[in-house]
Amino acid sequence: MNMMNRTLSRKLLRSMCGISNPRLSFAQSAVNTVQGQKELIKSRELEKDELRPLYMDFQATTPMDPRVLDAMLPFQVNYYGNPHSRTHAYGWESESAVEKARKQVADLIGADPREIVFTSGATESNNMSIKGVARFYKAKKNHIITTQTEHKCVLDSCRIMEAEGFDVTYLPVKNNGLIDLKQLEETIRPDTSLVSIMTVNNEIGVKQPIKEIGHLCRSKNVFFHTDAAQAVGKIPVNVNDWKVDLMSISGHKIYGPKGVGALYVKRRPRVRIEPLLNGGGQERGLRSGTVPTPLAVGFGAACEIAQQELEYDYKRVTVLANRLVQKIMSEIPDVVMNGDPDQRYPGCINLSFAYVEGESLLMALKDVALSSGSACTSASLEPSYVLRAIGADEDLAHSSIRFGIGRFTTEEEVDFTVEKCIQQVKRLREMSPLWEMVQEGIDIKSIKWTQH
């Protein structure tokens, strides 16, 4: 079924190039509109009495768990000392809170507290690891390996490294979003210093075989960094089992505060990093700057809660995700799920609806907060590079929507979303001349597009 859709849309795309047939102006103009106009969905604030949309965008960010806020508030009100002040009670209580938080983070990933460095988020952690490791080992090692589906901050850091003279290989991914281990093994050279592959992709939810990659890298003596922002607290993570050397964690993806994250840096065998931020030598000299106590405490609390609730949340999210996908796929045809159906985190579902334009579907689903692709790429108008990397056709990539399910999602919300989605997709397809043709049984491949 999926194969047929792919061939169909590929033929369609090819035939769409260079047509002036007015019947197809919808499809062509849809593409043109996306490329020409700045923004179809205008941003505006909600009216006072307007009902809030449902939040189904858990990959972009997550609401703070009330337990996290409760842990943070005392440090915003009364315990406001600087954790690096060594001479008074304000400093001591703040420091002990930060160390407690450090232990909570370390326990979640199976690390030692001394291996955790608090940062301002996963983006900073990613920057630190890639630039730090590459620059430190510059003398002997010059090669970095990453994938085409990484987060923008990783790709951009690698681009900067290329400008500094490093050699970067962007590994392609298979159609299901997973990397080919054999290909990775072949790409590793004697002068490779770092391999960076994310654990769970934020756009399609695919889970990479991190344990195998970690063992491979350890056997070849190459440092392995993984961006686990979407994975930590959602699937069991153990840095020692997986033989990971560096791991980036983000606070606001696990129901913690925004503006804090962590970097796990292995101590045995030691990974040396050239620090990005220089100064007073805080965080073992790796990241100078006052550690934001309330944020770190909130982050620690979020990690502890995530560890306790991991199984419960995972079961629930799986049930809800299956419900959503089954209901949608049984009611409307020509829906493709991007990414491997098994090796994935169930809470991130990326569906492509053929013959429907993504932005118009999002506009139609105005009562549900969704996104097509990731927040960091939605500013530009190109279809997501992740979908392009997994080989999705242009038009299917344009019509993709990402559904995020999290700890606070209810069955009601899923049902509402599914109902609205089915309703709007059917309505948009009714208006589509391409859909009309497909329904009439016209074989789009056999149409001869003539110029008038």
Partner 1 sequence: MASCSRAQVISLYRMLMKESKQFPSYNYRTYALRRVKDGFRENLHVDNPKTLDVLLNQARENLALIKRQVSIGHLYSAQKTIVEKEPHL
Nearest to residue 344, comparing CAs of 171, 212, 201? Answer: 201
Q: Establish how many alpha carbons lie within 13 A of residue 61's alpha carbon, considering only the half-sphere containing its beta carbon.
A: 13
Q: Which is nearer to partner 1, 70 or 382 (CB)?
A: 70
Q: Which residues contact 439 (CB under 8 A, 6 or more apart)?
A: none
> Which stretch in 67-75, 105-113, 164-172, 190-198 sits in contact with partner 1 by CB under 8 A?
67-75
Catalytic residue among 158, 303, 376, 421: 376
Q: Which two tokens stand for residue 121?
A: 């988020």
Residues of this chain, 366-385, that bind partner 1 according to CB under 8 A: 367
Q: Is 51 in the site for partner 1 (CB under 8 A)?
A: yes
Q: Which two tokens stand for residue 9?
A: 């849309």
Q: Is 45 in the site for partner 1 (CB under 8 A)?
A: no
Q: Is 44 in the site for partner 1 (CB under 8 A)?
A: no
Q: Is 355 in the site for partner 1 (CB under 8 A)?
A: no
Q: Which is nearer to partner 1, 31 or 69 (CB)?
A: 69
Q: Which is nearer to partner 1, 80 or 312 (CB)?
A: 312
CB of 390 to partner 1, least distance (A): 32
Q: Which is nearer to partner 1, 49 or 342 (CB)?
A: 49
In degrees and rounded to multiples of 5, residue 206 shows phi and psi of -75, 140
Please tell me whether residue 407 adopts helix, strand or coil conformation: coil
Q: Which two tokens stand for residue 396?
A: 């299917």
> Which stretch in 9-17, 45-53, 86-94, 142-150 sits in contact with partner 1 by CB under 8 A?
45-53
> Which stretch in 51-59, 168-176, 424-432, 433-441 sits in contact with partner 1 by CB under 8 A?
51-59
Q: Is 67 in the site for partner 1 (CB under 8 A)?
A: yes
Residue 98-137 contact track with partner 1, rule CB under 8 A, x = bound? ----------------------------------------
Looking at 10, 31, 34, 53, which residue binds partner 1 (CB under 8 A)?
Answer: 53
In degrees and rounded to multiples of 5, residue 350 shows phi and psi of -115, 110
Q: Is 408 in the site for partner 1 (CB under 8 A)?
A: yes
Residue 305-334 contact track with partner 1, rule CB under 8 A, x = bound? -------x----------------------
Angle at 432 between CA 426 and CA 433, to 5 degrees: 140
CA separation for the pair 118, 432 (Å, rounded): 51
Q: Is 58 in the site for partner 1 (CB under 8 A)?
A: no
Q: Which residues contact 426 (CB under 8 A, 6 or more apart)?
A: 332
Residue 249 · residue 128 · CB < 8 Å: no
Angle at 167 between CA 164 and CA 173, to 5 degrees: 125
Size of the site for partner 1 (CB under 8 A): 23
Q: Which is nearer to partner 1, 26 or 416 (CB)?
A: 416
Q: Would you give the end-to-end CA distance of the chain in angstroms? A: 35
The yes-or-no answer on residue 376 being catalytic is yes
- Rounded to a whole number of angstroms, the CA Rg of the chain reads 24
Please tell me whether residue 206 adopts helix, strand or coil conformation: strand
> Which stretch in 52-60, 178-186, 218-226, 268-276 sits in contact with partner 1 by CB under 8 A?
52-60
Strands 54-55 and 368-369: parallel
Q: Which is nearer to partner 1, 80 or 408 (CB)?
A: 408
Q: Is 86 in the site for partner 1 (CB under 8 A)?
A: no
Q: Which residues contact 75 (CB under 8 A, 6 or more apart)?
A: 94, 97, 293, 294, 297
Q: What positions carry a catalytic annotation? A: 376
| Binding interface with partner 1 (CB under 8 A) | 46, 48-55, 63, 66-67, 69-70, 312, 367, 407-410, 412-413, 416
